[in-house]
Chain A
Amino acid sequence: MADGPLNGYSALELCTSPGGAYCGKLLAMFGADVVKIELPGVGDPARGAGPFPEGLPDREKSALFLHLNTGKRSVTVDWRARTGARLALALAEYSDAVVCDLTPAEEQATGLTPETFARANPRATVTSLTAFGRSGPWKDWRWTNMTSFAAGGQHYLTGDPDREPLASGGLQAEYQAGLHAFGATLAGLYWTMRSEVGQGVEVAAMEAQAGTLEVALPDYAYRGADGLTKRRGNQQSALIGVYPAKDGHIGIHCMPKNWPQLMKAMDSEWMIDDERFRDTRARLQHGDEILARFFAWSATVTKREATRIAGETRAPISPVNSIEDLLADDHLRARAFFRDVEHPAAGRVTHPGPPARMSLTPASVAPAPLLGQHTVEVLSGTLGLSHAEITLLRQQGIV
């Protein structure tokens, strides 16, 4: 079994959103025994998302599902039915944490509220992870990754000033919410070590983003000026942006102290002491000249050359890595970041390693479960149901 810091802890995941699954994945990676409840026959919607090997849809081989569910056990229970909901509550009795992404209306409809989970297990941390939170006029709104990205403020800020707002690629609103739900769940578990009782904790994707809008939101909140509240495109200022290179793109993020190194990297030492670029204010005033220099230089280098020069000069220049670049990257390989994991249906696939390295309690990456792979094991092993009882539930479509 895992040696993570949560070894010995158990968690129940009742989620259909990628963010909820990501929270459960992190709990599992760091050692918790995570039981994921999926709908019988259908499973987590991520099972239908793909991409799939050879492009052939197969609920056991969806890349999104395989990534978001490493190391969990899968139990199929129709929690929308009364008996299924009771099984979920029974499982909560054996869980130190419950992670749930139902809206308040869905909680009421199923009876699976934080309060009923707390009654089932007064020591449990019950984490609610939704787009809008459990109160307020939008609490029952439906959401997807993009609508959360829109409501939270990052969408408006991303993209070109004269075009429509741009959503970041992938499922970034979901991942951020899932990461916060993971931290909040850990904080709940730690609190329970002292208090001996559990409590509910709520993470709203919209709020997770509204608190991460860099300088733009604080500056508006404080000064009331909207100078920084607009989208600023691919070059956020003269000193921070993405620039075309010979074979792709590179990024530059120049803080005040990096200016000399950056100019050395670009063979432009003369610009270090030039009056026009003397300090940050002067550099922003002469931003066009700096941008012209950045564009001219970036066009002469490949991503790999830029990376080498960045290392030699310690300048804040990065390659815009493609997914393929990442898998081939020397540095990540030297650090043995990626993990090849054998999956019973999908075969050998590569996963990102854990997001952090703990010296004594390292995280682990284990294969994602097949749909309902652990139903019998959990219902009989944890809940003590007999095989006859499980068969009865199966006949009624509950499990």
Chain B
Amino acid sequence: MNPYSLPLAGVRVLDLTMVWAGPYGTRLLADLGAEVIKVEAARSWDMLRSVHLLGGETERWYDKAAFFHHNNRNKYACTIDLNTPQGKELALRLVSMSDIVIENYRADVLENLDLGYDALRAVKPDVILVSMPSHGKDGPQSHHLAYGSNVEQLAGVAAITGYADRGPHKSGISYGDPVAGATAAAMVIAALIHRRLTGQGQYVEVAQWEALISHVGEYIVAASMGHPGPAPSGNRHPSMAPHGVYPCEGDDAWVAIAVGTDAEFAALCGVIGWPDLARDERFADVVSRHRNQGELLDPISAWTRQRSHEQAASELQAAGIAAAPVLSIPQLMANEHLNQRGFWETVVHAVAGIWRMEGPLWRFEKTPASVRLPAPNFGEHNDYVFKGLLGLSGAEVEDLRASGVIADAPDLTLHA
């Protein structure tokens, strides 16, 4: 193998994950060059294919859902009905030639399919199995369900998020999902490192709830010292002040400004044209400033309202103050900084068309990654997998198709 091929070139991942957390994680692996083979079935296909907003009459909408495309690029897809004996046999044959198996079913599903770690190890002794149950595989709540927004509620993130005058607030995304996915991807690589050193595979459990608790870990430590968890405080910071978002020119446009030291505050006062404020005793030190930061809203806003959020951030940065525009999605996709970094890539898909998506997040200097392959159509690589990898004959594949073990189209009633 070319030593300069992508970091995970030659690693095969049998990907049983669906929706967001798992596919986001396996996308990170696929971007790095792993051969990720996604397994779906006519009655068990990735729900993300149904999140398309194209109208139900659109032909083959399940191959056009952008949410699915962004999270499944660089992967292959086949179909296997794992509830049939033949399907199980096919899956185990694929396991025997894979390095990784990864799943984000509910905690009991894989074992109920007789495809638990012991069954996989019997056909592939050094297999690495990664499970991503929300609550973990054991414990009194292991049978509970939780999706991405539930996970941030369970983990304590929602409780510490919110406007100061209101209760807890959810994130704008299903935050538990990308965190669990990135954790699982890292764990796959950690297990690969151990396997390369020792020849041993292993079982890895990423309990999504537990994975996210590390992101509030300072409050866990603080609670054990006797401090209650923090109440939601909007955009404020426990020590920096002023710290918040300020309205800018345009509709729903904001700039985030974070001031720490007295020197930064003096610089801010200079930029906004109120140098006297820096000497005002209400704001003279960080404690006073923190206490009275509400009174800074008007003078700062009077300045920010007169410029775009990017312009405001640029002027503040030039004075040494941490600031950034609160970018909306259209603004992110038009952003000159990301454009100059080549972040957005054009993807061409035979059914879905041409558009732009985010490129790989981990940017290696010697092995740059890219969107090599658009996301697969439903069952697109059945021939590659069953004939190419497993060596089945055309007649055998037809038999499997006829008996419904493999499929070329999803049952559209599934996620209605």
Return the chain A residue nearest B224 by Cβ: A350
Task: State the majority secondary structure of interface residues on A.
Answer: mixed
Q: Output the least CB separation between B345 and chain A (Å).
A: 11
Cβ of B53 and Cβ of A214 under 8 Å apart?
no
Quick one: given A242-B158, A311-B141, A334-B139, are A66 and B221 in contact (CB under 8 Å)?
yes
Contacts A255-B415, A356-B211 known; 13 new A-B pairs at CB < 8 A? A150-B254, A186-B189, A207-B343, A210-B338, A215-B66, A241-B170, A257-B415, A280-B416, A324-B229, A332-B139, A337-B210, A351-B221, A355-B183
Q: Please name all residues of chain A whose beta carbon is closer than 8 Å to the beta carbon of B230 when the two chains form the complex.
A: 169
Cβ of A166 and Cβ of B234 under 8 Å apart?
yes
Cβ of A169 and Cβ of B162 under 8 Å apart?
yes
Question: With A and B bound together, what is the CA distance between A355 and B181 in angstroms?
Answer: 12
Question: Which stretch, B76-84, B87-95, B360-368, B381-389, touches the partner chain A?
Answer: B360-368
Chain B interface residue bracket vs A:
35 or more
Determine if B218 is an interface residue (Cβ-Cβ < 8 Å). yes
Q: Please name all residues of chain B whose beta carbon is closer than 8 Å to the beta carbon of A208 when the two chains form the complex.
A: 361
Interface residue ranges of B158-177 to A (CB < 8 Å): 158-163, 167-175, 177
Question: Which stretch, A151-159, A268-276, A390-398, touches the partner chain B?
Answer: A151-159
Q: Output the least CB separation between B5 and chain A (Å).
A: 9
Cβ of B326 and Cβ of A251 under 8 Å apart?
no
Quick one: given A222-B69, A231-B172, are A251 and B183 in contact (CB under 8 Å)?
no
Interface centre among B160, B215, B227, B322 (most CB of A within 10 A): B215
Cβ of B245 and Cβ of A150 under 8 Å apart?
yes
Q: Please name all residues of chain B whose beta carbon is closer than 8 Å to the beta carbon of A249 when the two chains form the complex.
A: 153, 158-159, 167-168
Chain A interface residue bracket vs B:
35 or more
Determine if A167 is an interface residue (Cβ-Cβ < 8 Å). yes
Determine if B328 is an interface residue (Cβ-Cβ < 8 Å). yes
Determine if A34 is an interface residue (Cβ-Cβ < 8 Å). no
Quick one: given A143-B324, A150-B245, A208-B361, are A132 and B186 in contact (CB under 8 Å)?
no
Question: With A and B bound together, what is the CA distance between A155 and B175 in angstroms?
Answer: 12
Q: Please name all residues of chain A whose beta carbon is closer than 8 Å to the beta carbon of B142 when the two chains form the complex.
A: 331
Cβ of A68 and Cβ of B218 under 8 Å apart?
yes
Cβ of B168 and Cβ of A154 under 8 Å apart?
no
Question: With A and B bound together, what is the CA distance between A281 and B61 in angstroms?
Answer: 15
Cβ of B326 and Cβ of A150 under 8 Å apart?
yes
Question: With A and B bound together, what is the CA distance between A143 and B320 in angstroms?
Answer: 10
Cβ of B167 and Cβ of A244 under 8 Å apart?
yes
Q: Please name all residues of chain B whose beta carbon is closer than 8 Å to the beta carbon of A4 when the two chains form the complex.
A: 190
Quick one: given A51-B222, A321-B154, are A179 and B355 in contact (CB under 8 Å)?
no
Return the chain B residue nearest A125 by Cβ: B364
